[in-house]
Structure 1
């Protein structure tokens, strides 16, 4: 299916608004090289099928403009009453007990009231997680596993993987493995596969093209595998998906959105498409991705926690959300028409971090698609959905900084017109997840201040009131201990419920190393999580303070491999955490031994921040526990076939050196690659008079003076190299170098 080059022009690009450029600025004329271009390069993308995607108005909404459900909606009122009513009752009880703790002297100071308010806010957060986990536990005890729907698929689904400066060997291995699994189900004709690149590094871009061309050559002309690279990564991932929908969306009933580290089994992918076909009101169906393929200590802790505790939490969320569910941005299937109708994201007023384009777009897209009358549901028991996780504490912190900004940005969206109450709750939960850290920090500071006040301030016997005894801050130690036990029980309950379900499930229990190893693994995870918690609290608090101060995070590529971080970087990142832990420990011990003991878990985690962070990224520690059968998951004991295949293909791709060759050297050495690359570029837009691209201009000047490729490579900056890769005349000049 050969596609003319002009079909790659965006429907609303500059080429549509201006006359054609002069010949020297247009597409390269066929040459001996381009005539030998591999056939797969001629149809890197299918013919465009535009689908209107209007920008949404967050300030107004007309319900008549949305989708009218074909079936009556059933709201899970009982589940919601249990989760939110139970959390409210627990919070009220906890607040009452805290009031009794601080008012034992018969009077309460302003600082004690501040402590009461902070405690109540923090307690409400863990109470909601507790009641949701209980609901998930009950549902999983009673509900059978998800059974995929049978029957042929009558619809077409685009499987889209947005990538951004990723390791190409891994990315294309995942696509190849998933495609093979879907083909094996007999439903392969219902799916087309797209790699949508937003890569801003020239080496990554050309590596993607090399991998795409090689894979298309292996799979043959009927592979239905496509590749598109955007010249500008406008609006990041949301813009990448939006560009695909607006240009090709009309050809597909659904799109299955992946991340670069996503893996999904063939039956899982087919089941999601079947679920969309079976429910004409479904807008998004989200699967529960489990973490796999992790080997460092920190990543294995996350992998174990997600596998053992995650289903309980996700099932509870699914049970009370019903059709008002949420979307996590990947491993989910979306009705393309509904997405185009409802999910054109506007830029928020103001500058980043609160203004500008929407960072955490997935929550917003779920809320808008629900506002438009489509359902958003989750299948938490559907097997075969997987992802990977960052390898160390610092890597998580880098990603978490972006998530913090995205979730706090939702404070300007939570009040949007027409949103369902459950969608507003999802926003509130995301915001609270990051605000909780500075609230916890504030609670610790106020607690220390109160103890210091009690220990150092002398009572005023001559205050002028009629009391017979002085009045100063006091605490009820017995009630305080009871409240501490209640708080820890509620905090740890979701872990215990997940552990119980794993112990009840024979196959899961045996695949996790047996009951004894499973319990021991849970204890290790709990201990390590407790040590990491105060470090994460300070990191998240710092992120929140930076955002409130107006600092934008940007969008850095995520590190996915298991390579360790230099120790000097770890020391630089955590030295203030360790110093704060030491100062707090000395101060607490000087004030009161009881205060030191009460704060010892927090103090210990901070004092050990540097060695904990170093250990978190160590392969040897993670693999050592693996050899002992600890922190094992069923997917690790018996790896999914799609993961095994992807691993093998990734090693083959790595051996091919796809990620090793510099972009300019690869283009210069391979005439076929150079011709294919030029053919996949969109037509050049005409340049307005006076509009000078400095990178392109400097690149042209340097290439004009260069005699060899080595000279050009040494002289060109990364941005100038990227300009060369986007420009056909400059590519021709590059190929002429010796």
Structure 2
């Protein structure tokens, strides 16, 4: 048996193991739900509830399976990264960089000062590495705000002049912005792509240190079958309370989820559109995105381009893999709930386009699975809202609560759903608590445990708010409602209560209507209903309070949502002078156990 056949058999066994685990977990969850709803037999409402519950399951079950696999690898492997990406063991820190690499920074209506702040430490590192002549930075602008465009051109021209003799930099602004970000990069490919072997993709809020870029280039050099190599992305230390808690939770969940999925997906991994490296020749030849056509015959460009490009790259015979290391790149997270929702709905609109692409020819089964799962991530939201409405109606109309749900199986079902929901973060938290060095990096076991509890409550509040937002938007999509691509507000700012109510009144109405009906009919059920209705009911004050700059500054000082970068700040991040990091780069610690 040759090496290719052996690898193929191993990967088939891993796919089969994941498929069995996924199927058993799905089936077991549905059986548990059916048992919980069994008093008096399964009526029409119970069947509807089971169907809705089935639509909520795939994303949670995938998270649970990936987290379980990832946790085992993290705890049992001496090098979890090498366990899922063997190519990292083939490179050394002194391997020469021979490939020509373009660095693509895509911007649209962004403050250029902030972008330059993130670029200069990277440029300094590349220049100091001795490989500066191997890299060329392309600033690819789609800015259509005339005032911003004037300032952008002036500042980026100054950047070009400053680095002229050390790193090549080109600035180009499109006046016709077809194809969104994917169109922007396609324009680069047609103009300059043939000059380079690789391209590193950055978003306007991305920060990648030079060492991380060089490491990705070295891995691509040793494996000619790699088409896309994605780095793990974590949040930059922030003084926004909303962002701090969000990225603390993402930090816990991303590693176990990514390692677990990388183990069984193998060479059919994810691409998130930035903080990644592409092999340009196959990308140019095989990853041109198709145009879609609406019901009215109008052509539409694909908004969520990344996963489609990954699927097309894999279909062409090249590998797509992820490096699950947390020092390869950072990004800014939205500082407020309202900014987060705008970004989230753009993703929702983009993912819904995948319906038309799942049947593209030559895609691998894993690629089709990824596209379907990306759709179900948002389709599950109306199902959750439907379950809230159905549960509220059942409680209001029932004569005997015992006829709605069995107490024993009902409690077990709620506990099981919460376990699946939070399993990637639980796996990450256990991994941190079991490693003394990791515990200290997060500020000690006591502070870490408190932050985990805060993040859990935060997620229980946030997720139902987003579910209602997705549901309203998906209904609007039936009437061709679109989200337009706009620049994001990335700095901390106050959210007035009136603005919060204007944007969040549907969530507020749904939440309080459900709570009021249950309170006056079956008050004993209020704690359970709060899991789904509590967040929406308090959506507006949640948006206001988590946006208060003074509260975010206090949280940064006392360590709420503390990240390892705030305990021992990498030198690259120190150069960014982030407000969340003290000048010494080490906020005061009161618990380092």
> CA offsets, 1:56-86, max 9 Å, x none?
xxxxxxxxxxxxxx96664633433333311
Alignment match, 1:566: 496
Find the partner of 1:592 among 499, 517, 522.
522
Q: Give the equivalent residue in structure 2 for 1:511.
A: 441
Higher RCO (CA 8 Å, separation ≥ 6 residues): 1
Check 1:473–1:510 CA distance in 2 against 1; reply closer, same or farther (3 A cut): closer
Counterpart of 1:134 in structure 2 is 68
In structure 2, the residue matched to 1:98 is 33
Does residue 452 (structure 1) correspond to residue 382 (structure 2)? The answer is no
Q: Following the alignment from structure 1 to structure 2, what is the Cα–Cα distance between the partners of residues 336 and 153?
A: 17
Contact 1:149 1:275 in 2 (8 A): no
Match of 2:84 in 1: none
Q: Secondary structure at the match of 2:292?
A: coil
- Is 1:269 the counterpart of 2:221? The answer is no
Equivalent of 1:383 in 308, 327, 340: 327
Distance 1:419 1:393, change over 3 A: same
Q: CA deviation at 1:494?
A: 2.0
Aligned to 2:423: 493
Q: Distance in 1 between matches of 2:256 and 2:578?
A: 32
CA positional deviation for 1:578 = 1.8
Q: Determine the structure 2 residue equivalent to 1:611.
A: 541
Q: Deviations over 1:117-171 (max 9, x none)?
A: 2223323431221111011111222142656633101210000101101110011
- Map 1:345-424 → 2, pairs under 5 A: 345-350=289-294, 356-381=300-325, 383-424=327-368
1:343 alignment counterpart: 287
Listed as ranges, the matches of 1:520-531 within 5 Å are: 520-531=450-461
Distance 2:38 2:326 in 1: 50
Counterpart of 1:144? 79
Tell me how far 1:504 sits from its aligned partner.
2.5
- Candidates 126, 131, 143, aligned match of 1:187: 131
- 2-side partners of 1:473 and 1:630: how far apart? 43
| Deviating more after overlay: 218-227 vs 447-456 | 447-456
Q: Deviations over 1:216-263 (max 9, x none)?
A: 222234531111111211111111100000110110000000001111
2:143 matches 1:199: yes
Task: Please name the residue that 1:477 is paired with.
Answer: 407
1:37-116 equivalences under 5 Å are 74=8, 76-105=11-40, 107-116=41-50
C-alpha contact 2:208 2:330 (8 A) present in aligned 1 = yes
Q: CA deviation at 1:354?
A: 9.7
The residue aligned with 1:282 is 226
CA distance in 1, matches of 2:211, 2:501: 46
2:121 is the alignment partner of 1:177: yes
SS at the partner of 1:513? Answer: coil
Mapped to 2, the partners of 1:324 and 1:290 lie a distance apart of 22
CA distance in 2, matches of 1:112, 1:532: 27
SS in 1 for 2:300: coil
Deviation at 1:491, TM superposition (A): 2.0
What is the alpha-carbon distance in structure 1 between the residues aligned to residue 46 and residue 288 of structure 2? Answer: 47
Are the structure 2 counterparts of residues 435 and 625 from structure 1 closer, same or farther at C-alpha, using a change threshold of 3 Å?
A: same
Aligned to 2:275: 331
1:169-318 mapped onto 2 (5 Å cutoff): 169-318=113-262
Q: Equivalents in 1 of 2:436, 2:298: separation in Å? A: 48
* 3-state SS in 1 of match to 2:270: coil
Task: Give the one of 537, 541, 544 matched to 2:471.
Answer: 541
SS in 1 for 2:576: helix
Shift of 1:456: 8.9
CA distance in 1: counterparts of 2:98 and 2:297, whole angstroms? 44
CA displacement at 1:553 relative to structure 2: 1.2
* Bigger mean CA offset, 508-517 vs 94-103: 94-103
Question: C-alpha separation between the residues in 2 aligned to 1:414 and 1:319?
Answer: 23
* CA distance in structure 1 between the partners assigned to 2:213 and 2:298 by the alignment: 36
Q: Please say which of residues 304-313 and 76-85 is displaced more in the overlay.
A: 76-85
Give structure 2 stretches of 5+ with no counterpart. Answer: 82-87, 580-593
- Measured in 2, the distance between the counterparts of 1:490 and 1:371 equals 32
| Structure 1 position 352, deviation (Å) | 8.8
**Residue segments in structure 1 that go unaligned for 5+ positions in a row:** 1-69, 458-471, 650-738
Q: 1:120 aligns with which of 32, 54, 57?
A: 54
Q: Corresponding residue for 1:440?
A: 384
Q: Residues 349 and 390 from structure 1, CA distance in 2 versus in 1: closer, same or farther, beyond 3 angstroms? A: same
CA–CA separation in structure 2 for the residues paired with 1:124 and 1:376:
23
Q: Deviations over 1:435-474 (max 9, x none)?
A: 11111111122222333343399xxxxxxxxxxxxxx954
Instruction: Give the Cα–Cα distance (whole angstroms) in 2 for the partners of residues 475 and 293 of structure 1.
Output: 44
After superposition, the CA RMSD in angstroms is 2.2
In terms of mean alpha carbon deviation, does 263-272 or 474-483 score higher?
Answer: 474-483
SS in 2 for 1:309: helix
CA distance in 2, matches of 1:617, 1:648: 18
Contact kept, 8 Å, 1:83 with 1:320, in 2: the verdict is yes
TM-score normalised per structure 1: 0.73
Q: Tell me the alpha carbon deviations over residues 542-594 of structure 1, each in whole angstroms, 9 at most, x when there is no partner.
A: 12211233211121112211122333211211233223222211111223223
8 A contact 2:511–2:537 mirrored in 1: yes
Which residue matches 1:715?
A: none
- Residues 582-661 of structure 1: matches in 2 within 5 Å? 582-647=512-577
Q: Which has the larger radius of gyration?
A: 1
- Output aligned runs, 1:666-705, within 5 Å: none
* 8 Å Cα contact 2:495-2:548 kept in structure 1: no
- Checking the alignment, whether the CA contact within 8 Å between 1:298 and 1:616 is kept in structure 2 is yes
Decide whether the 8 Å contact of 2:70 with 2:258 is kept in 1: yes
Q: Does structure 2 conserve the Cα–Cα contact (< 8 Å) formed by 1:155 and 1:277?
A: yes
Secondary structure of 1:381 counterpart: coil
Asked whether the 8 Å contact 1:253–1:337 carries over to 2, the reply is yes
Compute the displacement of 1:284 (Å): 0.2
Distance 1:482 1:603 in 2: 20
162-171 or 620-629, which deviates more:
620-629
Residue deviations 1:528-551 (CA, integer Å, cap 9, x gap): 111122212211211221123321
Deviates more, 1:205-214 or 1:353-362: 353-362
Which secondary structure does the structure 2 equivalent of 1:76 belong to?
A: helix
How many aligned residue pairs are there?
565
Task: Point out the more displaced range, 295-304 or 581-590.
Answer: 581-590
Q: Is the 8 A contact 1:83 1:128 kept in 2?
A: no
Label 1:648 to 1:179 Cα distance change in 2 as closer, same or farther (>3 A).
Answer: farther
Alignment of 1:717-732 (within 5 A): none
